[in-house]
Structure 1
C-alpha cells in the first residue's frame, strides 16, 4: 500500500473520530465519552485476558459487546428523557459515572487476570465493590 494512502486513511479516521467526539462532548459533557473510552479499554483488555488464559471465546466477546451497546442505548435514553422532562443533565451524568466505575473495576480485574501488579488499585477496587454491595 502506498504511504500517501496510509496517511490519508489515518487522517480520515482521525477526522471521523474527532467529529464524533466533538458532537458527543458538546451534547453530553465529558462523562459519556469517558464511558465509551472505558468500555473500549475494558473490552480490549478482556480480549487480552481471555487470550492469555486460554479462554478466548467469540460468543463471550459478542455477548459482552452487546451488553455494552445496550448500556450506551440506556444511558442515551436517560439523557434524552431527562432533557425533555426535567431540562437538566445531572441524572444522566450520575448514571454514566456509575457505569464508568463499573467499567474501571472490570478493567482492573482484567489486569489482574493478565498478572499485572495493581498495587493500591486493589484497595480502591475493594472499597468500590464494598460500597456497590451496600455494605
Structure 2
C-alpha cells in the first residue's frame, strides 16, 4: 500500500511540478520532511527508551541514499536532455520521485507521533491503519488507541 501511495504521489508531484514549473523545489521539501522524520524518530525512541546509535546512523544513511538516488535521476535527465538531445520531461521525473518519498516520510512522521503517544487526527490514524493492514503489519498504535 505504501508503494501505491508513493507511486500516485510521485506521478501527481511530477504533474504539479510541470504545471507550476517548480523543478527542484520538491527536493527542498523532501529534505524538510526527512529532517522532521529523523527528529521525531529520535524523540519517539527517547520516550520509549529505545535510543540506539546504530539504528539512528542506519536511518541517516538511508536518507542520504535517497537524496543521492534522486540526484542521480536529475543528473540522468539533465544528461539526456543536454547531451543526447533526448528530453525526459525536463527534471519532472526527479520531482516526481521526490514527491513519492515525501509521502513515505509523512507516513513515517505520523508513525513516530503514534509511538510518542501524541494526539493523532482520526483520518491520519485511518491512513496508517490501512497502510499497515495492506503491508500485513500490526498497527503500532493499537495499544494507545484511546489517545
TM-score by length of 1: 0.71
Post-superposition offset of 1:130: 7.1
How far, CA to CA, are the matches of 1:103 and 1:125 in structure 2? Answer: 12
Q: Is there any run of 5+ residues in structure 2 with no aligned partner, and where?
A: 1-21, 81-87, 137-147
Structure 2 match to 1:75:
70
Cα RMSD for the two superposed structures:
2.3
One of 106, 109, 119 as aligned partner of 1:104: 106
TM-score by length of 2: 0.66
How far, CA to CA, are the matches of 1:83 and 1:132 in structure 2? Answer: 35
Flag the 1:132–1:37 CA change in 2: closer, same or farther, 3 A: farther
Matched, 1:124 2:124: no
Structure 1 match to 2:45:
50
| Runs of 4+ with deviation above 4 angstroms | 126-133
Q: List per-residue Cα deviations over 1:15-56 (Å, max 9, x = no partner).
A: xxxxxxxxxxxx943210000000000000000000000100
Post-superposition offset of 1:126: 4.2
How far, CA to CA, are the matches of 1:100 and 1:32 in structure 2? Answer: 9
SS at match of 1:106: helix
Flag the 1:130–1:97 CA change in 2: closer, same or farther, 3 A: farther
User: 81-90 vs 39-48, which deviates more?
Assistant: 81-90
Contact 2:23 2:92 in 1 (8 A): no
